[in-house]
Structure formats: C-alpha cells, structure tokens
Amino acid sequence: MRKKLTVFFIMVVFVLMATLAFADGGEAAKVVYGFWSLIPPLLAIALAFITKEVILSLLLGVFSGALISVFANSSSGFFMKLVESYTKTFEYPVNALADGWHAGIIIFTLTIGGMVGVIAKMGGTRAIANALAKKARTAKSAQLATALMGVVVFFDDYANTLIVGPTMRPLTDKLKVSREKLSYIVDSTAAPVATMAAISTWIGYELGLIGDAFKSINVDVNPYSVFFQSIPYRMYGLFALVMVFMVGFMMRDFGPMYEAEKRARLTGKVLADGAEPMLSTDFEKDLEKDNIPLKVSNALVPILTLIIFAFIGLWYSGGGLDKPFTWDGIRDAFGDADASAALIWASALASIVAIVMAVSQGIMTLKKAIEAWVEGAKSLIITTIILILAWSIGSIATDLGTADYLVQIVSNSLPGWTIPVLVFILSSIVAFATGTSWGTMAIMLPIAIPLAAHYTGNELTPLIYATLGAVLTGATFGDHCSPISDTTIMSSMASSADHIDHVKTQLPYALTAALIAAIVGYIPVGLGMPVWISLILGVVSLWAVLRFYGKSTKLEDLKA
C-alpha cells in the first residue's frame, strides 16, 4: 500500500507542477524544455525501483512525457490537455513498433523464444547442461564457461544475450549460480564485446559516426584505423570484461550480488523470494514423464544453425555478393548489414531445424512441436511490451531534447585534460537517461571530437583517441546500467531473471568498473600518462576491490 501511495503522490505532484510550468502552452518550435526533459526517463527509473513494476513505471514515464509535450504546446483547456496527453501516450508505442528496426528485433526475440521452447521440450538444453556439467562441476567453472561463451558470440549483442542466457541457464541453475549472476555475465559480455569487435553489427554504425565526426573538423582519417586506435581507451568496456572473468575466477562478490550468490549457494534458490522472472522456465517439466532421450545435438545443431546463418545473413544483407571476398570486403559487408533482417532469417531457420529434428526423431508430433514453439514465443510477450515502452521513452527523450540539455549544462568552459573524463561521464548520463547506447553515440561524437580537436589543433593525439573511446564506452556503460535499456531488459529475459533484481545487483559492479575507468584511466590519460599504464592500474584496482572488499562465495566459506 505504501508503494502505491508513493506512486500516486509522485504522479499528482508531477501533474500539478507540469500544469503550472506550461499552463499557457505555446508553439512547439519555441519551447525549450530544459529540466523537464529529464522527467520521463528519471520518473520511469525511479518508479521501477520503488514499485518493481517495470511495465507500469515505463508507461507512467511515457505518459509524463506526453503530458509535458501537450501542456507546453497545446492551447486547449486543462481537461482537454489531459485527454490529449492520454491519447498521445499511446502514439509513442505505436510509432516505436512501426519502426522497421524495432519490429525486426521484436520478431527476432519472439522467434528465438520459440526456438528455445522447442529445444527445451526435446531435452536439448538439459542435455547441454548435463554435458557441460561433466567439465564444469562447480559454480566457478560454470561462471567462467558462461563468460567465455559470451565472448565467443561476439558479432551481435542481441544474439549474444539470446544465445548465451538460455543455453547456460540449466547449467548455472544446477550448480547453484544465481540468476542475478547469470544475467550480469550475459549483460557484461554482450555490448562490451560487440562494440569492440572488428566484425560485428556495431562496426558499420561506429565507423560511420567516426568518419562524420572527423569530416566535420576537416580531418581526413581512415575510420577503421581510428576505431582500432580507440580500443585501448575504451576502458569501461575492457574493465567490465576483465571484472566478469575476475569475479568468476576469484569467487568473490560484494553488495546485493553477494547476498544473491549466498542465497543460491546455501539454499539452492537461484531466484529471490517474490522474484518475477521475465521468461517462463517450465518447458522441461515433461521430460522425465515422457522418457525423452537427452541429446546434446538437439540443442547444438539449432544453435549452430543460428550462429552460422546469422554470420552468413549479415554478410549477405550487407551486399557481400557484390563485394570482394577479402578481409576489407567482409568487414564492409558487416558494416552495411541489416542486422534485424539477418537475425530474423537465422532465427527462423534455426526454429525450422529444431522443429524438423523434434518431429523426425519422434519426440513430438508436428502439432506438438509448433505448440512448443508458440509456448516459447508467448513466454516473451512481457519482454516485448517492456522493449516497446523502453523505445517509447527513448523517443520522448529525443522529442524533449533530453540529451541536448544534458550536454549543454556540462560542456561549458572545460580545461583540456578534463575532456575525456567529462565526456565519459556525460555520455554515461545520457545513455542511462535515454536507455540507448547508439543514440548516445550519435549525439555525443559530433560534439566531443571537435571539442577535443580544439585543444590538439586537429592533431590525432592520445587526447583525441581517449575522447573517442570515452564516448563509445561511456555510452555502453550508461546503457548497461539503465533499467530502461533494451539490452539490459533482454539480458534479464534471456537469463530468466527478475529485471529489477538484475539491475540492482549489476549496478555496483558496473559503477566499480566505471569509477576505476575514470579515476585511473581518463584523468591520468588526459594529463598525458600512457594508456598502457592506466590499463595495468585498472586491472590491479579491480583485483584489489574484489580481494579486500569482496567476500568469498565458495560453499565451504559460506558454511564456515
């Protein structure tokens, strides 16, 4: 009841404040929203933590943005403004779903869910878990195996989360690794890997932004060369990856993650009491009853089909047939790829392969196999709703100029050495508030590169590379932490974790990596220290935090 009263109070206060602020309305072109542009994402994030009702929180965030826009621009009376705000609220989800990229991701997500449903029903995921259990016999080896698989599936962050989570979940459950830890590993080896991979669905987008940013200051560069030069300066992404493996190897945790791991290790409860996982996990309930033989191939073949044909689809959709079959040609094809289309092709084919295998082995009839596929897809309906509302929040943030406002209030009169760290902080804030790393990159790079070039006389110095890396990895960090980020949501879903529990347990780890990146990374590099020294200091700092602040989650230590 207290939570409901809190939500009601917040909304009433907000409506009254918006009414006073924009009582007279005005013309859209003349409205500068300023602080009000921060309200929709901040309200959605705050309510999500207060109520743990993600859909309601996002919907109220969307409504708040519609309310601000209507009260600022409409000349109608008070009651009609409320009506217009209500109707406008639902325009954003419709427009988000009408976007071709978004629709493709929804179809891809549902298709992957269907494939997972079929694989689980014919015992494939349990067979993989049993096979891996022969090698991964402890919680430590399960975490390291999951992290390694996350690095191997490097070509797309969405594909990464939706392959690694469902595949490794039976194993981590069996070895008493919490769903919070699984979703953290999945999330931390998705975008941080894809954004730095030489061939991925991110590479073309990043190269285009890099090329445009340098073109704006009349500097002719090879974007691919600059991309590689920036990798050592993507300190958050590098430290986040190192931390994932270090946490698994040292078996030490801190904060809410320690409590989650302690619960899982001592009680076997991989989910907290009252948790609401974002994916149904009861696909396997009839395996023993029906005496279904457990074969690794029943999972491995569809998953390999998905991975192989995702690569082929990305290459083909990027015009690979018309490009030379060389490293540069393949790279350009991946850069020009239509990722959503390629992933749909691959996931649909993998689903067909899974259904054919189930029917041909007599495990299921065609009708039962299709029902299993539908059941798997249905389990992701809540996830798709959350994704659509998260995209809607992003659209509202764009309409209200949230990112522009944040940039404006931070980027005035900066000393040169502070550019990398402040750009990193600002990119993080923008990505956290808007829930999009790609949108943050598009906003920040045209501002950050000319800003750094002003201090270097357009010379390609470490300050330029550090600033570029700060934008790209800051966007990843903010997106990584944000509960309204699609990749964060998909990591919760793929791991069948409670979304807010995932965010709460991951946030201290992400903040640790980010603080170390800022303190021993971007500040010293801005002052002229070689980047390799910062990288060494960062790894040592991560070890020190886990060694002296973290607590052991080994079963024998927890029982002591």
The helix/strand/coil state of 318 is coil
* Alpha carbons 357 and 362: distance in angstroms, whole number: 9
Least confident of 135-139, 528-532, 535-539: 135-139
The candidate with the shortest Cα–Cα distance to 221, out of 51, 60, 459, is 459
Q: Residue 195: is it exposed, middle or buried by C-beta count within 10 angstroms (0-12/13-18/19+)?
A: buried
Mean pLDDT of the chain: 81
Provide the residue type at 233 as one letter.
Y
Query: In the structure, what pLDDT confidence band is assigned to residue 191 with cuts at 50, 70 and 90?
Result: confident
Residue 71 lies in a domain: yes
Quote the pLDDT of residue 43. 82
Quote the pLDDT of residue 49. 64
Higher pLDDT, 315 or 221: 315
Tokens of 555: 């079963």
Quote the pLDDT of residue 182. 95
Structural domain tally of the chain? 1
Tokens of 433: 């508030």
Q: Stretch 182-209: mean pLDDT, rounded? A: 79
DSSP conformation class of 251:
T
* Top mean-pLDDT range of 11-25, 177-191, 363-377: 177-191
DSSP conformation class of 3:
H
Least confident of 88-97, 211-220, 295-304, 526-535: 211-220
pLDDT reading at 458 higher than 90:
no
477 CA to centre of own chain: 9
Residue 305 lies in a domain: no
Quote the pLDDT of residue 9. 54
Quote the pLDDT of residue 512. 96
* Alpha carbons 35 and 278: distance in angstroms, whole number: 33
Query: What are the tens digits of pLDDT across the range 284-327?
Result: 555 555 566 778 888 888 888 888 888 888 888 888 888 888 77
Query: What are the tens digits of pLDDT across the range 370-425?
Result: 988 998 888 667 767 876 887 787 788 778 877 677 666 655 556 778 889 988 99
Quote the pLDDT of residue 364. 86
The helix/strand/coil state of 253 is strand
pLDDT reading at 450 higher than 90:
no
Higher pLDDT, 130 or 426: 426
pLDDT reading at 23 higher than 80:
no
Distance in angstroms between the alpha carbons of the first and the last residue of the chain: 39
* Alpha carbons 182 and 143: distance in angstroms, whole number: 8
* Alpha carbons 451 and 470: distance in angstroms, whole number: 13
Query: In the structure, what pLDDT confidence band is assigned to residue 502 with cuts at 50, 70 and 90?
Result: very high
Query: In the structure, what pLDDT confidence band is assigned to residue 276 with cuts at 50, 70 and 90?
Result: confident
Beta strands at 252-253 and 551-552: parallel, antiparallel or unpaired: antiparallel
Residue 498 lies in a domain: no
Higher pLDDT, 8 or 136: 136
Q: Residue 480: is it exposed, middle or buried by C-beta count within 10 angstroms (0-12/13-18/19+)?
A: buried
pLDDT reading at 237 higher than 90:
yes
- Give me the half-sphere count of Cα atoms (radius 13 Å) on the Cβ side of residue 254: 18
* Top mean-pLDDT range of 50-59, 133-142, 165-174: 165-174
Quote the pLDDT of residue 241. 94
Least confident of 90-104, 129-143, 510-524: 129-143
Q: pLDDT > 90: what percent of the chain?
A: 24
Quote the pLDDT of residue 539. 96
Residue 74 lies in a domain: yes
Please compute Rg for the chain using Cα positions: 24
Find out whether 78 and 19 touch, Cβ atoms under 8 Å.
yes
Tokens of 85: 């705000």
E strands, 48-129, are: none
Least confident of 178-187, 362-371, 426-435, 542-551: 426-435
Tokens of 92: 């954003």
Residue 122 lies in a domain: no
Tokens of 167: 């595949």
Q: pLDDT > 70: what percent of the chain?
A: 85
481: Cβ contacts below 8 Å, ≥ 6 apart: 428, 432, 488, 503, 506, 507, 510, 511
Residue whose entry in the numeric block shows the structure tokens 């829930």:
435
* Top mean-pLDDT range of 81-95, 217-231, 377-391, 401-415: 81-95
pLDDT reading at 28 higher than 50:
no
Query: In the structure, what pLDDT confidence band is assigned to residue 549 with cuts at 50, 70 and 90?
Result: very high
The helix/strand/coil state of 498 is strand
Q: Residue 352: is it exposed, middle or buried by C-beta count within 10 angstroms (0-12/13-18/19+)?
A: middle
The helix/strand/coil state of 295 is coil
* Alpha carbons 360 and 344: distance in angstroms, whole number: 24
Other Cβ atoms closer than 10 A to 180: 30
DSSP conformation class of 195:
T
Helix (H) or strand (E) holding 133: helix 124-135
Find out whether 377 and 117 touch, Cβ atoms under 8 Å.
yes
Residue 359 lies in a domain: no
Find out whether 207 and 214 touch, Cβ atoms under 8 Å.
no
Residue 72 lies in a domain: yes
Give the structural domain span for 48: 2-89
* Alpha carbons 496 and 171: distance in angstroms, whole number: 13
Residue 83 lies in a domain: yes
Provide the residue type at 55 as one letter.
I
Query: What are the tens digits of pLDDT across the range 100-135?
Result: 877 877 887 788 778 878 887 888 767 776 676 677
pLDDT reading at 519 higher than 80:
yes
pLDDT reading at 509 higher than 60:
yes
- Give me the half-sphere count of Cα atoms (radius 13 Å) on the Cβ side of residue 191: 27
Q: What is the torsional sign of CA 279, 187, 177, 507?
A: negative
The helix/strand/coil state of 277 is strand
Quote the pLDDT of residue 156. 67
